[in-house]
A and B are shown apart, each in its own frame.
Chain A
């Protein structure tokens, strides 16, 4: 269960970590606990899977990964597990999900592919299609980023 204290901590650490000598000490005193206790709690969030990572979030365009493609496959649901694992092994892929279909969108397996060129993304999508053995797929490039924020809890 998430306590009120956890909520306060999670809210603060989902924002930017300060560039000071003891950034966790600052947060600990804000929520009224010791630095050791705070670090212990953050470690526990990571251990139980509540926290995925504590790291830098980059603007991928500005580090050269200018193209972000959403590749979507239509695959039989009972084969999705295997395909999802194969796709997830690709270093080009940041996200891979099985999603519900709709009546006019018959794709269910999604992969976000990041590349330095359009061709690089298309090639990777094709390579993945060959690897999983399903060729009913589409690659949708993002042509404009309207919004991208971190979740604030």
Chain B
């Protein structure tokens, strides 16, 4: 069943989601400050946030870091997998806790995943291991050379 709520009918939720995406104020009680910004009570704000989390609309409210600044190494990997092997290979990839995103895409390279690992050796190890799997036709690493933008923000209330 779809958990999607009709956001068209709930402008307040959209305003809350926009506000929460813009950043949590780094003050003792951030919820009070956000509630004041939105002209609602803190109680209602927290109730709506809890609801939006329960529905899976808000995945989490957390800090996002630049992995490189913390000494981590990240990369993008593309894999060519035959259709009957996809499920098994995907499970294998997902089991690595250092794999953060994994998508099926409509291309010869049909499985695309990202790794954020403690060091380069760990990335090499994951790629090498997967490459040995007979279900993997081809595996290519596409490391970033330059980052131009990273900002996930879906404007909802306008």
A residues contacting B by CB (< 8 A) are 2, 10, 13-17, 19, 21-25, 35, 39, 42-43, 45-46, 48-60, 62-65, 68, 70, 80-81, 84-85, 87-88, 91, 93-102, 104-105, 108, 110, 114, 138, 140-153
> For B109, what are the chain A residues with a Cβ–Cβ distance below 8 Å?
105
CB closest residue in chain B, given A93: B149
Are the C-beta atoms of B26 and A100 separated by less than 8 Å?
Answer: no
Q: Measured between alpha carbons, how far is A96 from B144 in the docked complex, in Å?
A: 10
> For A98, what are the chain B residues with a Cβ–Cβ distance below 8 Å?
144-146, 148
Distance in angstroms from B150 CB to nearest chain A CB is 5
The bracket for how many chain B residues form the interface is 35 or more
> For A142, what are the chain B residues with a Cβ–Cβ distance below 8 Å?
103-105, 112
Are the C-beta atoms of B70 and A50 separated by less than 8 Å?
Answer: yes
Dominant SS at the B interface? mixed
> For B155, what are the chain A residues with a Cβ–Cβ distance below 8 Å?
91
Chain B positions 1-59 with a Cβ under 8 Å from a chain A Cβ: 3-4, 7, 17, 20-24, 26-32, 46, 49-50, 55-59
Distance in angstroms from A45 CB to nearest chain B CB is 8
> For B66, what are the chain A residues with a Cβ–Cβ distance below 8 Å?
49-52
Are the C-beta atoms of A52 and B64 separated by less than 8 Å?
Answer: yes
